[in-house]
Structure 1
């Protein structure tokens, strides 16, 4: 990851804390928690890699897990520590580092790993595979990892309402049907968009056994305007849709066309 990625998250650390409270982004949060509950062991030590300001770490700590946080952005990590302390919770470690440079002294240490940020930004396939191999070494036997990717097939769907001006160039539409490497000038920061088949191959090549995969936004993908309207006008409809969408995030008819692809794999 370049310094541009670190700078972006240092500049937007407070926004990252609030992002999952957005009426539409809330489904990403709830789907991920649903998968954590379904696939993680009931107890153990979890490594939250790309923890940001600690939204998932807090939920894990509340459930009694031992949690270590690793984050590239020092400001995000500091905010996460502050919020964890305010709640009277205690994490095991706070590590400010790039996962690619983390030492190899953690073999067979964790029962579960969350890898929910780094794969959005690593544009080199070999580096992504090396990260996955490193995570596999850090997991105990039978340990579970949840890996998040940005999915081009879902992003194009969201773009119809969120950034239609980009589609004035016909080639920009076609570009979303394959993997994409996006520069700082083209996107929110330096980023990488994949497709479900490519992501699954990558995880398997790293030695993991794939348990399942999901689309975080489920059948709500691309419907941010409608979901915000329900949130403001009819909370019962909104909450019912969130609940069922999270429960159905692994359904084949939805998971390939959501913005955030979540791969669940086992060592």
Structure 2
């Protein structure tokens, strides 16, 4: 946890990541818009980073509490919320594995769109989901995100002139563990069936499972500069629940109802 915290505090700028990866951001927002129904929902964003999604949802009038392991991200969320002219219900430094200080069954929606990227042990991944479920009201929505175990291959394809190790890339399909010295902080990349089985082992009704970037991933920079960007986003959204193209995505999104 210290190594992951240091990565986000000292090395990586998570706020600008979604400027570079607008496809992920825009399609995920479309899912949130589709499934989050009602006014002034009470939302808890676990591992919400610098607040991209928290601020987006606060702008829609929801009451959003953000929690993140990185103190830098939490402070950035406060700054960016103020710049956007919205107020978060809370922005606190904390760990997805210990949410005991927060009231149970108090939230209409819980976002878990970050912690599952970095919890390399299944017991910890399950613990983070159990904690999220405890906070969620009956009938509430849990939104969870995973990094796909195809992501390293898709990333290499995106930067196709960069050197890479073929065996290493293919190994992720069998073992999703990414060590800190492999160009990213400690992470766990998840397969489709593994992600679905994990989420569906809880008291949740699966509403959606999506491959976010799908066919757009390796052409993202060109698409972002294209006047046809909105049309490509429509296509990717239409294909996002097509199981035949899940492996072309770098991120998976699960939405379930408690």
What is the RMSD computed on CA atoms of the aligned residues? 1.8
1:228 and 2:226 are equivalent in the alignment: no
Q: Which residue of 2 aligns with 1:123?
A: 120
Q: What are the Cα deviations for residues 230-254 of structure 1, in whole angstroms up to 9, with x where unaligned?
A: 444xx31233212332343222233
Shift of 1:189: 0.5
Secondary structure at 2:92's aligned position in 1?
strand
Q: Does the 8 A contact of 1:49 with 1:114 survive in 2?
A: yes
Cα distance in structure 2, aligned partners of 1:208 and 1:104:
23
Secondary structure at 2:26's aligned position in 1?
helix
Q: Which residue of 2 aligns with 1:183?
A: 179
Gaps of 5+ in 1: none
Q: Which residue of 1 aligns with 2:17?
A: 19
Shift of 1:85: 1.4
Q: Which residue of 2 aligns with 1:111?
A: 108
1:248 and 2:245 are equivalent in the alignment: no
Instruction: Indicate how the Cα distance of structure 1 residues 187 and 180 shifts in structure 2: closer, same or farther if over 3 A, else same.
Output: farther
1:28 and 2:24 are equivalent in the alignment: yes
Cα distance in structure 2, aligned partners of 1:206 and 1:260:
21
Cα distance in structure 2, aligned partners of 1:246 and 1:30:
9
Q: Does the 8 A contact of 2:44 with 2:109 survive in 1?
A: yes
Shift of 1:130: 1.3
TM-score (norm 2): 0.92
Secondary structure at 2:181's aligned position in 1?
coil
Q: What are the Cα deviations for residues 129-186 of structure 1, in whole angstroms up to 9, with x where unaligned?
A: 111111111111111111111111243233234365223xx42243132231111112
Secondary structure at 2:103's aligned position in 1?
coil
Shift of 1:104: 5.5
Gaps of 5+ in 2: none
Secondary structure at 1:32's aligned position in 2?
helix
Which of 194, 199, 210 aligns to 1:198? It is 194
Which of 43, 48, 54 aligns to 2:45? It is 48
Secondary structure at 1:147's aligned position in 2?
strand
Q: How many residues align?
A: 256
Instruction: Indicate how the Cα distance of structure 1 residues 256 and 141 shifts in structure 2: closer, same or farther if over 3 A, else same.
Output: farther
**Greater CA deviation, 72-81 or 102-111?**
102-111
Shift of 1:96: 0.4
Q: Does the 8 A contact of 1:31 with 1:247 survive in 2?
A: no
TM-score (norm 1): 0.89
Q: What are the Cα deviations for residues 94-147 of structure 1, in whole angstroms up to 9, with x where unaligned?
A: 120011122154211110111111001000101111111111111111111111
